[in-house]
Amino acid sequence: MAKPFGKVSGHLLDTIRKQINQNGIVVWYDPQGHYESFLDLLPAEELPGIPVERYDGSFLALRYRTEPLLSAEERPRLLIYIPLKRADTKNAMIEAEAAGEVMAPGAQPPSRNTKLSVIAKSVLKECCSAEKLRKIEKDVEEGKLSLAELDRLAEEVTSVTGPVLEIIFRTKVPGEIALLFLSGMEYDEEILKREALPDLGCLLTQEFELPLGEESKPEDLRQRFAGSS
């Protein structure tokens, strides 16, 4: 079976394994829900012998499922995933936290910090220019890039194009992006959704010497670019 994750997801999985190996129980808070699909696709053999319990709307039910493990004589190995802010749980899982450790965005030490931009940076910093890394971090912080999309970007981090443009047009070649953009309105909705119009304008300026403009619609930029060609 093919793994459902790439380099960034693989680093995240290694982080989870290390914390469970060190602490036995890990309570993982994910208020943005960045990692729900990651857990949905994660084969059980990637965490062998480690139960994964997920909050499904009832802390009472979650505590009922985890209590036998918490009261076991031997230290259990358990991952508890909660797609909420820790502060919003009213200490519902305090016993599990006391018996193990917490992973969450911004957690300390850094080895327990699962902020998506931090996870991405830890993978991409060795093979990505500082400028592009800052751009990727910014896009992640603004919610423009998901974990799955970061996995794709990690395979092609040497491009001069912006990461969001690569996701939208599925190519890192500036000429191909320009041709796809000129060919019609197919990508306009995604460009607006991801607020990528300024990035696209900068790309056309850098690669094709198109004067900078202040368009608010893809069609306006397309018409100006077509007229300059």
Q: Give residue 156's pLDDT.
A: 65
Whether 85 shows a pLDDT value over 90: the answer reads: yes
Q: In the structure, what pLDDT confidence band is assigned to residue 107 with cuts at 50, 70 and 90?
A: very high
Q: Which two tokens stand for residue 75?
A: 């230290």
Tens-place pLDDT, residues 125-151: 877 777 888 888 999 999 999 999 999
User: What is the arrangement of strands in the sheet containing 101-103, beginning at the earlier edge strand?
Assistant: 52-54, 78-82, 25-29, 101-103
Contact 109, 1 (CB under 8 A): no
Spatial CA neighbour of 132 closest among 158, 171, 169, 165 = 158
Spatial CA neighbour of 140 closest among 161, 123, 115 = 115
Contacts of residue 188, Cβ cutoff 8 Å, sequence gap at least 6: 218, 219
Domain map (residue ranges) of the chain: 7-116, 128-228
- Residue recorded with tokens 């969450």: 104
